[in-house]
Structure 1
Amino acid sequence: MPKVSVIIPAYNAMNYLPETVDSVLRQTFTDFEVLIIDDGSSDQIVQWVCELKDPQVKLISQENQGVSIARNTGIAHSQGEYVAFLDADDLWTPTKLEKQVICLDQNPSVGLVHTWMVLIDCKGKSSGRVMTSNAEGNAWKQLLEKNMVACSSVMVRRCCLQTVGGFEPNLNFAEDWDMWIRFSSHYPFAVIKEPLYYYRQVPNSLSKNIQVLEQALNLVIEKAFCSVTKELMYLKNHSYGYANLCLAWKALQSNCRDYNLASYYRQQAISYYPQLRYSREYMRLSVAITALQLFGTNNYSKLLELTYTLRRQILNFPNLSSINTFTIADKSTN
C-alpha cells in the first residue's frame, strides 16, 4: 500500500497536466500513487497516460460529473494512509509531500495539514506575492468566516474522510471551503508555514463563472450556519463580507476586467461587514479598481505585469523553470 494517494481531477486539462504530474513525480518523498480522474475529457489524456508508462500513475475515467464527484471517485479508489489533493494546472515543490507526511506522522491528532502559496499566470509567471494562512489547531471559527485553505496545498488522513464525508456533489465552486469547514469541526489543522506550491490562475468568462461562484458561496455559508449557536451568528455577516470581497477580485481577474461589478461586490462586502473597509485586502482591492478605471484594461494589465516583475526582482523570486528547488503561489488576489 502506498503511504500517500495523490488525487488529480482532470477535464480537458492537457495544456497543463503533464507539468503538474511531473511536479509530483519529482517529489523527494516517493511512496505515493497518483490517481488522475478523467472527468469526461475529450482531449488526449488516455493516450498520454498510456505513453507515460509510470506504474505510480493510474487513470480512472468517468462521464463528466464535475470536480467534486471526480475527487470523490479518487477518494474511493485511493489506498494511501494519507490523501493529497492537486488540481490539474497547479504545481508542487519537491519537498511538499515529504514535509506534510512528517507533520502528520508526528502529530497523530491532526486531521489536515496545508501550506502557503503564490499565484502564477497561465504562462507560469509568478506574481511574487506569498499568500499566508494561520488556520491551525481548532480552525473552525476562522473557516466559518472565510476559506483560508487552498485545495492543492492539502493533505488529510484518509480515515478522517470516513467521518467527514466527501466533497459536496452539487458544488463545483467553493466545494473545498465546504469540506474544510466540516473537517475543522472534527479535527485540528496544521499548517506548514512555507510556500510549497504554485496556483495557476487562468482567466475565464466572467458572466457564467461569477454567477455560479456567488451561488456556491451563498450555499456554503447558509449550510455552514444552519446549526451554529446564536452566540456565533454574528460571524455570518463576516462570512458574506469576505465572500463578496472574493467576488470583487474575481470580477477584476476575469477576461473582461469589470470594475463596475467589482465595485458592486466591494460595496456589498462592507454592507455586510463594515470593518472590512479598514482591512489591507479592502484597500488593495480599492487601489486595483481605481487603477483599472483610470488606465483602462490594457494599461492596467501592463501595470500589473510591471508590479509583478518588480516584486519578483525585489524578493528574488525564482522563475518557474526552477520549480525543482523552490516555488510559491497565491490563490485569490491580483
Structure 2
Amino acid sequence: MKISIILPVFNEEEYVKNSIGSVLSQNFDDFELIIVNDGSTDNTLKIIERFEDERIIIINQANQGPGASRNNALKIASGDYVMFLDGDDEFCQDALETAYNEIKSKDTDISIFQIIKYDGEDYSENSWFNLDNFPESFENRVFNPHECGDFLFDISVSACQKIFKGSFLRKINARFPEGIFFEDMPFFFYTFLKAQRVSIIKRHLYKRLKHDGSITEVVDSKFLDTVRAGQILMDIFVKNGWYDMYTFDLLAFKINGPRYALMNIEEKYQEQLFDLIKKDYSLIKTSAYYEDFLKNLGPIKRKFFLDILKAKDYETFVEINK
C-alpha cells in the first residue's frame, strides 16, 4: 500500500459524501482510506457504509475527539506514506499522485502543499495556506527544517496540508495530543523539527470548506484548549532540546494563541478562559522560564502576561488591560 489516508469524522452528514468521493475519484488508486467514525449521532455512519470499496476501512468508536481518532487510525495504517483529510474538506484532483511523486522522488520525511479555501461558491487564497512565508530559495529542493528558523512559527500547522513518510512517523512515535482541539499544532512542530528532509509543493492539493461550523470560523469553547495546546508545545520544545534555539518566537507564539482567543471568544466563555490562562501563567511564574518571558516578550504581550497575573478575575483584567 503506497498511501494511507486518515479521515476522522464526527457528525459530518452534510459533507462526508463529498469528502470520501474526492478520495475515490483520484487517478492514483494505490491507497487505503481509514475512516474513523468518532461517535457520530447523525447519519454520518450510514453515509459512510453506503460506499462499497475494498480500500475503505471503517473504525467505529465512541466519541474520543480528533486526536485520539487520528492516533487510532495511525496504529493500523499500513501505507508507505500517510495523509490526513477532515470530514468537511476534499482533496483536489490529482492530489494523491502529485504528493506521492514529490515525497517519493525527493525521499523526504514530510512534503507540504498548498490549501485553497472554498465557501460553496467561491475559492479564496491566503498567504499562510499558500506557503508564501517560504522564500523562493526553498522551492524545488530538499531542506532541513532548522533552515526555517526565521519563519518557523509562520508555517501552517495543519496536518492535512502534508504527506508524511510512514516509517518516519513510526520511528519518532508521532502521536496527536488527545482530549483537546488544536491537536495539529503540537503534532506539527514535533514532526517538523524531528524531520531531516522536507520539501514544499506550490500547488493547491487540498480544498478546505469554509462554513459556519468550521473550527477556524467560530471562536467558541474549542478555543479553551489553546492553553493546553500551548503547554504541550512548550514541553515538546524543552524535552527535545529546541527551547534555547527558538526561545524568543516560541514564547511569543505561546502567549499569542490564548491572547487571541480571549480577545475574540464568545462572552460566555471569557471568564473560564481567563481562569485557565491565569492558572497557566501562575505556574510559569514559579518555573525556571519566568525571567525568559519577561526578557523576551514584546511590550504588548508582556503587558498581557503581567496583567493576567495581576488581575484577580476577568473583570479586573479588562479594566487594567484596556
Superposition pairs for residues 51-130 of structure 1, below 5 Å?
Answer: 51-108=50-107, 110-121=108-119, 123=120, 125-130=122-127
User: Cα distance, 1:237 vs. partner?
Assistant: 3.1
SS at match of 1:52: coil
In structure 2, distance between residues paired with 1:187 and 1:175: 22
RMSD value, Cα: 3.6
Give the alignment's TM-score, normalised by structure 1. 0.68
Contact kept in structure 2, 1:9 and 1:88, CA below 8 Å: yes
> 1:157 maps to what in 2?
165
User: Cα distance, 1:125 vs. partner?
Assistant: 4.0
> Aligned in 2, Cα 1:223/1:166: closer, same or farther, shift over 3 Å?
closer
Larger Cα Rg: Structure 1 or Structure 2? 2
> 1:274 maps to what in 2?
298
Long gaps (5+) in structure 2: 278-292, 302-322
User: Cα distance, 1:160 vs. partner?
Assistant: 1.2
SS at match of 1:6: strand
> 2:145 maps to what in 1?
139
Identity value in percent: 20
> 1:35 maps to what in 2?
34
Could you tell me which amino acid in structure 2 is paired with residue 178 of structure 1? P
Give the alignment's TM-score, normalised by structure 2. 0.70
Could you tell me which amino acid in structure 2 is paired with residue 200 of structure 1? L
Asked if residue 222 in structure 1 is aligned to residue 228 in structure 2, the reply is no
In structure 2, distance between residues paired with 1:61 and 1:161: 24
Could you tell me which amino acid in structure 2 is paired with residue 240 of structure 1? L
In structure 1, distance between residues paired with 2:156 and 2:125: 19
Higher RCO structure, 1 or 2 (CA under 8 Å, sep 6+): 1
**What is the aligned counterpart of 2:188 among 180, 189, 210?**
180
User: Cα distance, 1:5 vs. partner?
Assistant: 1.1
Could you tell me which amino acid in structure 2 is paired with residue 23 of structure 1? S
> Aligned in 2, Cα 1:97/1:211: closer, same or farther, shift over 3 Å?
same
The Cα offsets for residues 288-322 of structure 1, whole Å up to 9 and x where unpaired, read as xxxxxxxxxxxxxxxxxxxxxxxxxxxxxxxxxxx
In structure 1, distance between residues paired with 2:253 and 2:80: 34
Number of residue equivalences: 268
User: Cα distance, 1:192 vs. partner?
Assistant: 0.5
SS at match of 1:34: strand
Long gaps (5+) in structure 1: 278-334
User: Cα distance, 1:45 vs. partner?
Assistant: 2.5
